[in-house]
Amino acid sequence: MSGKMSVTKFTHTGDLFLKKYNVAIAGATGAVGVEFIKLLQERDFPLGSLKLLASHRSAGKTMDFKGEKLVVEELTESSFEGIDIAFFSAGGGRSKEYANAAVKSGALVIDNSSAFRMDPGVPLVVPEVNPEDIEWNKGIIANPNCSTIILLMAVTPLIRLQKVKRIIVSTYQAASGAGAAAMQELIDQSRQVLDGEEATKNSFPHQIAFNLFSHNTTIADDGYNEEERKMIFESRKILHDDALMISATCVRVPVLRAHSESVNIEFDGERPTLDAIRSALAAFPNVRLVDDRVANYFPMPLDASGIDETLVGRIRYDLSNPNAIDLFVCGDQILKGAALNGYQIAEEWIRQQSAFV
Ligand code: A2P
């Protein structure tokens, strides 16, 4: 089938939203971009048109959307004319280069990169945690780091029970955080190792198959890597708590697309009971309790893959600290850690806009 124009009009049958929104995805061919396309295809989004943008390498390729073939276009400054919402997931460099052009064209930019996250003029949002920050955007809303989102999905319901003083988190991060090519590298290396061949390294500095290593981001003078610093500073910004003490150790593991985190949470004062903690987690939107001690069944990255919910379990009192608890959390890095959170930001923004009409 030959390709059509990439801007195609779609009819939304639901009556929740009257206005329809023209959407662009910058980085449409990437791991997160593909998931944005799926979300727009499968969910009840008031879509007017969809424009797919990627590098010149992908320009002219077609991608399926609701039975149509959409042609991918090269991302340029003039890509955003007539666009209402632009999802950016093409790396920080592209966000820095093109996000302002999109804003000038009148689009709301929802940026999945780290380019603007710590900019005090840009809201950093997890819709279940701080939807109110969407309101003061000036054209760009930043989607937080994937490990930060997954951490805050588990910690926020507990903060609402009792103020938290200190968090110590260790991550077990999937290959997907480094993009589609890195996921393929894990598969290819696994085959190579099983075939007795040497593992080919492109996306990662070390062999990822049958191995794990400290997160592949730059190490700062203080010894923390970039991912760990993101978890610390982004969490404080999202929670509006600059005093929150938080330390992180981020590790890459041979898992395809869901991150896991071991979290120690110290409350400011007496810790809530385990029953209260379980109830708060179970009642929090998009969190699912997986905490079966009898069956020894707890959150696993395979169970968390491809679903919206963040899984939380292994909830127990910390025996070394009377004010602390431990838990384990798993969340899909591409969905809640990236595309789904961005999509929810768009939905929440639309809801807030509609409230002003
Ligand atoms: P392309 O597929 O054409 O390289 P991932 O995070 O899975 O690695 O995906 C990165 C996304 O960012 C892809 O869609 C990729 O497009 C896109 N991208 C990378 N470099 C550029 C660029 N210079 N201009 C526009 N899009 C880019």
Given a contact cutoff of 8 angstroms between Cβ atoms, the answer to whether 86 and 24 are in contact is: yes
Q: Whose CA is nearest to atom 2 of ligand 1?
A: 29
Name the DSSP letter for residue 179: -
Looking at the structure, do residues 231 and 136 belong to the same domain, yes or no?
no
Q: Which residues pair with 330 in a beta bridge?
A: 260, 311
The alpha carbon torsion through 187, 313, 336, 65 (nearest 10 deg) reads: 60
* 347 contacts: CB under 8 Å, gap ≥ 6: 45, 127
Looking at the structure, do residues 161 and 264 belong to the same domain, yes or no?
yes
181 lines ligand 1 (CB under 6 A): yes
Rg, C-alpha atoms of the chain: 21
- For residue 356, what pLDDT is reported? 60
Looking at the structure, do residues 285 and 137 belong to the same domain, yes or no?
no
| Closest to 300 in 3D by CA, of 248, 264, 257 | 257
Query: To test the ligand 1 pocket, which listed residue (35, 55, 94) has its Cβ within 8 A of the most ligand atoms?
Result: 55
- For residue 18, what pLDDT is reported? 78
Name the DSSP letter for residue 323: T
The per-residue DSSP string of 4-30 comes to: B-S-EE-----SS-SS-EEEEEETTTS
Q: Whose CA is nearest to atom 24 of ligand 1?
A: 55
Looking at the structure, do residues 69 and 155 belong to the same domain, yes or no?
no
CA distance 166 to 204: 32
Atom of ligand 1 nearest to the CA of 180: 7
CA distance 139 to 110: 9
Looking at the structure, do residues 174 and 301 belong to the same domain, yes or no?
yes
56 lines ligand 1 (CB under 6 A): no
Looking at the structure, do residues 227 and 100 belong to the same domain, yes or no?
no
How many independent structural domains does the chain possess?
2
What percent of the chain shows pLDDT beyond 90? Answer: 93
| CATH number of the domain to which 190 belongs | 3.30.360.10
Looking at the structure, do residues 232 and 155 belong to the same domain, yes or no?
yes
Looking at the structure, do residues 26 and 161 belong to the same domain, yes or no?
no
333 lines ligand 1 (CB under 6 A): no
The pLDDT tens digits for 51-98 are 999 999 999 999 999 999 999 999 999 999 999 999 999 999 999 999
Looking at the structure, do residues 24 and 37 belong to the same domain, yes or no?
yes
- Given the residues 215, 250, 259, 330, select the one marked as catalytic: 259
The pLDDT tens digits for 109-152 are 999 999 999 999 999 999 999 999 999 999 999 999 999 999 99
Distance from the Cα of residue 354 to its chain's centroid: 25
| Closest to 6 in 3D by CA, of 48, 69, 77 | 69
180 lines ligand 1 (CB under 6 A): yes
Query: To test the ligand 1 pocket, which listed residue (25, 56, 88, 94) has its Cβ within 8 A of the most ligand atoms?
Result: 94
Atom of ligand 1 nearest to the CA of 29: 14
- Chain length of the chain: 357
Mean pLDDT of the chain: 95
Looking at the structure, do residues 183 and 211 belong to the same domain, yes or no?
yes
Q: Check if 146 is active-site.
A: yes
192 lines ligand 1 (CB under 6 A): no
CA distance 249 to 224: 8
- For residue 320, count CB atoms less than 10 angstroms from its CB and return exposed for 0-12, middle for 13-18, buried for 19 or more: exposed
3-state DSSP assignment of residue 274: helix
- For residue 355, what pLDDT is reported? 78
Looking at the structure, do residues 109 and 168 belong to the same domain, yes or no?
no
The pLDDT tens digits for 285-304 are 999 999 999 999 999 999 99
Angle CA(153)–CA(241)–CA(322) in degrees, nearest 5? 70
> Which residue intervals of the chain are DSSP H helices?
31-42, 92-104, 146-159, 180-194, 226-239, 274-283, 301-304, 340-356
Q: Which tokens sit at 328?
A: 């384990």
pLDDT higher than 80, residue 13: no
Q: Check if 250 is active-site.
A: no
177 lines ligand 1 (CB under 6 A): no
- Given the residues 146, 215, 250, 330, select the one marked as catalytic: 146
What is the Å distance from ligand 1's center to 216 Cα?
19
pLDDT higher than 70, residue 5: no
The pLDDT tens digits for 162-184 are 999 999 999 999 999 999 999 99
CA distance 170 to 250: 6
What is the Å distance from ligand 1's center to 29 Cα?
7
Looking at the structure, do residues 203 and 323 belong to the same domain, yes or no?
yes
pLDDT higher than 80, residue 15: no
pLDDT higher than 50, residue 10: no
Structural domain boundaries enclosing 243: 148-333
